[in-house]
Amino acid sequence: MVGFEHKPDIRQPAKQRPKENEHISIEEAFELFCQGRSVFGPAWDHILVIGKLVKNDRKR
């Protein structure tokens, strides 16, 4: 979750997003993160990709 608190969720409607240079609170960022929402897409998708890469690397 570190690093996500200062980024708006790009999938939120524009009127609900913070302005470009406006930071969101850590509480709001935590809620978005727990909902699986972030600038980079669902956090668990990234974790699964990394897990698959590690698993495939171990097979070599």
3-class DSSP string for the chain: CCCCCCCCCCCCCHHHCCCCCCCCCHHHHHHHHHCCCCCCCCHHHHHHHHHHHHHHHHHC
In a domain, 40, yes or no: yes
Give yes or no for residue 3 having a pLDDT over 80. no
Instruction: State residue 32's pLDDT score.
Output: 79
The total domain count for the chain is 1
Give me the domain span that covers residue 28: 14-59
Instruction: State residue 1's pLDDT score.
Output: 47
In a domain, 27, yes or no: yes
Give 12-48 pLDDT, tens digit per residue. Answer: 544 455 555 567 788 887 887 788 776 666 667 778 8
Q: Are 18 and 24 in contact (CB under 8 A)?
A: yes
Instruction: State residue 44's pLDDT score.
Output: 74
Give yes or no for residue 4 having a pLDDT over 60. no
